[in-house]
Amino acid sequence: MLVTRVFSLIGKRAISTSVCARAHGSVVKSDDFALPSYVDRRDYPLPDVAHVRQLSASQKALKEKEKASWSSLTRDEKVELYRIRFNESFAEMNRGTNEWKTVVGTALFFIGFTALVLIWEKHYGEYSVESRAAPTHSAQGCAGRTCTGPWSQRWAPPLQGLSQGTFGAQGYGAGDSSVSPSLSWSA
Amino acid sequence: MARQSYPKCAPDFHDKYGNVVLASGTTFCIAIWTYIVTQVEIEWNLSPVGRVTPKEWRGQ
C-alpha cells in the first residue's frame, strides 16, 4: 500500500490529481498514510476505498436510491455515483501531457547555448586569433642563423578546430611561410 | 453510454508554456548554429575528399 502511495506521489499525475481535486471531502489528513488509500492507477483498477469518503446529504440520498432498482437512476445520477467512487476515469488518468514540448525546447535551448560558448571560445579563448599572434623576433631568443632558413621553424601540424579557418603556413613563430614545410591546400 | 469530456481543471506548466518553450528553443538553436557555422571562422575539419584540390606546395 505504501509503495503505491509513493508511486502516486512521485508521478506527476498526482500533482494534477491534487490540483483537480473536487471539493467532495478528498482532503487527506497527515495520519492517514497508513490507512487504505485511493489511487488512480492503471494497474490497480479498483482502489481500496472510494474517492469520496464524507458524503453530503444529497450524496447520501443518492446512495440510498442506489439500493433500489438501478433503472430508476438518471444518467446524471449514475455519473455522480461513479464520481463518488472514482476520481478519474481510465481515459482521464491515461491522458498524455505536453511535457515533451518543454523537454525538447529546453534541450534545444541548451544546445544553442553551446554555440554561444563556442563563439566566446573562438573570440576570447585559447584558440582566438589574438592568442596566435606571432612573437617578436627577439622574443624567440634567436641567435645566429638558426632563426632563419628552412630549419627555423619546427614543423607543426595544421591547426584545426577553433583556429583560423584555413590550413596553411601557420607556424608557431615568425618565419618565412614560403619555406614552411607544411601542406597547403587550395580550398 | 455517453462520455462526458473532463476538461483539465488546472492547466499545468506544459500546457501553458510548452508551445512557447518549444518554438523559442528551436528558433534560438537554429539561428545561433546557422550563425556559428557560416559567419564565425571555425575550422570544422570537414573531409577534403571531393572538396579541395591539392596543389603544389612549393610553387612552380
Interval B10-43: pLDDT, tens: 889 999 999 999 999 999 999 999 999 999 888 8
CA distance A3 to A5: 5
In which band, very low, low, confident or very high, does the pLDDT at A103 lie, cut at 50, 70 and 90?
Answer: very high
Contact B42 A118 (CB under 8 A): yes
**Percent of all residues in chain A with a pLDDT value above 90, rounded to a whole number:** 45
CA distance A132 to A171: 9
A99–chain B Cβ distance below 8 A for any pair: yes
In which band, very low, low, confident or very high, does the pLDDT at A74 lie, cut at 50, 70 and 90?
Answer: very high
Q: Which residues are within 8 A (CB) of A36 and not within 5 positions of it... i.e. 6 or more apart?
A: A1, A48, A49
Interface test with chain B among A101, A119, A122, by most B beta carbons within 10 Å = A101
ipTM entry: 0.79
The pTM assigned to this predicted structure is: 0.56
Among the partner-chain residues A92, A108, A186, the one whose CB lies closest to the CB of B52 is A186
CA distance B50 to chain A (A): 11
Residues of chain B neighbouring A108 (CB-CB closer than 8 A):
22, 25-26, 28-29
Mean pLDDT, residues A147-170 taken together: 54
pLDDT at position A161, please? 59
pLDDT at position B24, please? 97
Q: How many CB pairs under 8 A join A and B?
A: 119
Cell of A47: 482502489
**Least-confidence region, from A4-13, A49-58, A123-132, B13-22:** A4-13
Handedness of CA A173, A176, A178, A181 (dihedral sign): negative
Tens-digit pLDDT profile for residues A114-143: 999 999 988 887 766 666 655 545 545 555
Contact A112 B41 (CB under 8 A): no
pLDDT at position A21, please? 44
pLDDT at position A31, please? 72
- List chain A domain ranges: 40-112
pLDDT at position A32, please? 76
The yes-or-no verdict on residue A177 having pLDDT over 80 is no
CATH topology assigned to domain A40-112 = Cytochrome C Oxidase; Chain D (1.10.442)
Residues of chain A neighbouring B24 (CB-CB closer than 8 A):
105, 109
Question: What are the strands, taking DSSP E only, across chain B?
Answer: 53-54
CA distance B2 to A67: 23
Output the average pLDDT for chain A: 73
In which band, very low, low, confident or very high, does the pLDDT at A162 lie, cut at 50, 70 and 90?
Answer: low
In which band, very low, low, confident or very high, does the pLDDT at A36 lie, cut at 50, 70 and 90?
Answer: very high
A94–chain B Cβ distance below 8 A for any pair: no
